[in-house]
Chains A and B, each alone.
Chain A
């Protein structure tokens, strides 16, 4: 409560110990996953558990990656996530600008629709969306995983807030200098709102890279499946008791994100807090 509050050294020590223990509760499972991924089957079956493998079994990774077309899965994950982020930005920037800086009949009603879309989850609409995309003959392509996320209601909402905070005088001054609206957006709005754009892109990256529900519904062949589905399918191809192989697959999915997190945890944390408060 108040920092000057006199603290006994033992209390300080206990506080640190408790902090260490709490971090361990949240981080240890990931370390355990890595350890298991390097153990032999026999080691994983031992009780009490084997904390560290006698010699790291790197071939578990080879084994896991050979269980399915993992290069294809990885490529699909990258293509889908990158396309979503790029498309969302292209669609959302002009929309957010129009909602923030123009007055036009129907503006509030149309923005109301954006907010409504924000509240309708994919878990409600997935059946009709699937039928529609199947009608269009797209199920064998990556488009069903990309197109439905074309407009991010969350992104439009956040970016509009940000654009609205940019003073009208600055925009007016640019207009007096005969800058076109496109130039104002490109040279003024985008550079001035990079924190918001970074937050939105990061958010999109984390949620679509990790997405499981939507690709599960929208895919019926390995050619279009992303990594999350590939890893989950290891349960069927490898059997549920081969934990060393399952965890090796899991490491492939998790470690890239954990490495990114290790290096920019503060930015990621800020982005999530920002999105939660607005």
Chain B
């Protein structure tokens, strides 16, 4: 067999070829295509009529109020989701970290929404948040609170969407923090107990620092994930009322057929934001590893 010589050299490339072709075709090439599109006034019906317009799309983005509204909403949404989910899942994890049958059941319970489609979650919460017949307003009434318009008022709509996302996400992050807590060697806590360290001291001096890599990882995953929010908004509010829940991806989606070039330029901006966040993450992480 003459193949003896070159086949072992070629083999790895052949083995990764299908995977790399998929990545090249559906991730890398589209990035360049996206950037190219962002410089054009693209004509979907007749591609020959597409026109190079330089940075006009970008100029438009940064002078349009509705883009800033979508960006602001996305930022608010992200901060709301990240802060609430972080705090609540940390508390839940501290509470549920002991390995016991009951704790496992509770963990499985709060994780349930995570494996269900966001469409279902969104429809379900639209029903719960229905202003007249919804269960939430009924509960509000039971406790003597004034009913809320939930998704139907521009004052509460974004908050309602945040609530749903936090509800869906907590379980997953709790699980990760529980796993991290359980991997902290118990000898450290025993030593602290011998020193009569107070519980708050143990938490802030031992638990939190040892947990920081995982918390940081979660923070990044959650921030990037939140910046991509779309499904909940599309199903629950359609960006409304009055753009109060329009987010960046929803914004891109709205222009995907009517103004492809503009939509693509917004996609490039989103990619830049995500890239920046990822870069910051690696910088901070590198610094952290250095310090230890």
* Chain A residues at the B interface, C-beta cutoff of 8 Å: 1-3, 16, 19, 22-23, 25-27, 29-30, 32-33, 36, 44-49, 90-92, 94-95, 97-99, 102, 104, 107, 110, 113-114, 116-117, 119-121, 123-132, 147-148, 150-151, 153, 156, 181, 206, 209-213, 216-217, 228, 231-232, 235, 243, 246-247, 250, 253-254, 257-258, 261, 265-266, 268-269, 272-273, 276-277
**A102 CB to nearest chain B CB (Å):** 4
> CA of A23 to CA of B112 in the docked complex: distance in angstroms?
10
Inter-chain contact B252/A127, CB cutoff 8 Å: yes
Q: Measured between alpha carbons, how far is A114 from B193 in the docked complex, in Å? A: 46
A27-B109, A151-B18 given; A104·B13 CB < 8 A = yes
- Is there an interface contact between B179 and A273, defined as CB atoms closer than 8 Å? yes
Residue of A nearest to B183 (CB): A277
B175–A212 touching, CB < 8 Å:
no
Q: Which 10 A-B pairs rank lowest in CB-CB distance, beginning with the nearest?
A: A151-B22, A210-B117, A128-B33, A95-B19, A23-B109, A150-B22, A128-B30, A94-B15, A98-B15, A125-B30
B2 shortest CB reach to chain A, Å: 18
- Ordered by A's residue number, 5 sampled pairs between the chains whose C-beta atoms are within 8 Å are A27-B112, A124-B34, A124-B271, A232-B235, A247-B124
Q: A26-B110, A265-B108 are in contact. Are A97 and B172 (CB under 8 A)?
A: no
B79 at the binding interface (Cβ < 8 Å): no
Q: B31 near A: Cβ within 8 Å? A: yes
Is B193 a contact partner of A2 (Cβ separation < 8 A)? yes
User: Does B133 contact A120, Cβ atoms closer than 8 Å?
Assistant: no
Chain A binding site: helix, strand, loop or mixed by DSSP? helix
Inter-subunit contact A257/B179 (CB<8 Å)? no
How long is the Cα–Cα vector from A99 to B26 in the complex, in angstroms?
20
Across the interface, A29 reaches (CB within 8 A) one of B28, B119, B124, namely B124
Nearest CB of chain A from residue B240's CB, rounded to whole Å? 13
Stretch at the interface among B51-59, B60-68, B154-162, B259-267: B259-267
For A27, the chain B residues whose CB sits under 8 A away are 109, 112
Q: Which of A33, A90, A98, A117 contacts B28 (CB 8 A)?
A: A117
B136 to chain A, nearest CB (A): 10
**In the complex, are the beta carbons of B26 and A150 less than 8 A apart?**
yes
Residue of B nearest to A29 (CB): B124
**In chain B between 119 and 173, which residues have their CB closer than 8 angstroms to a CB of chain A?**
119-120, 123-125, 127-128, 130, 132-133, 135, 138, 167, 171-172
Contacts of B230 in A (CB 8 A): 123, 213
Question: On chain B, which size bracket covers the interface?
Answer: 35 or more
The contact of A47 among B23, B118, B133, by CB within 8 Å, is B133
**Contact across chains for A272 and B111 when beta carbons are under 8 A apart:** yes
Contact of B133 among A2, A44, A92, A97 (CB under 8 A): A44
Q: B71 within 8 Å of A by Cβ?
A: no
Contact B119 A231, beta carbon cutoff 8 Å: yes
Q: How far is the CA of A273 from the CA of B93 in the complex (A)?
A: 13
Asked if residues A23 and B110 are in contact (CB atoms below 8 Å), the reply is: yes
Q: Does B20 reach chain A (CB closer than 8 Å)?
A: yes
Task: Determine if B252 and A123 form an interchain contact, defined as CB atoms under 8 angstroms apart.
Answer: yes
Which residues of B in the span 67-123 have a Cβ within 8 Å of any Cβ on A? 92, 98, 102-120, 123
- Minimum CB–CB distance for A266 against chain B, Å: 7
What residues of B have a CB within 8 angstroms of the CB of A257 in the complex? 115-117
Task: Tell whether B215 is near chain A: CB-to-CB under 8 Å.
Answer: no
Interface pair B260/A272, CB less than 8 Å apart: no
User: With an 8 A cutoff between CB atoms, is B11 at the interface?
Assistant: yes
> In the assembly, what is the distance between CA of A59 and CA of B109, in Å?
30
Find out whether the CB atom of A91 lies under 8 angstroms from the CB atom of B30. no
A125 to B34, Cβ gap below 8 A? yes
**A127 and B267: CB pair below 8 A?**
yes
Given A26-B167, A47-B132, A261-B112: A127 in contact with B16 (beta carbons within 8 A)? no
Q: A104-B12, A268-B115 are in contact. Are A120 and B31 (CB under 8 A)?
A: yes
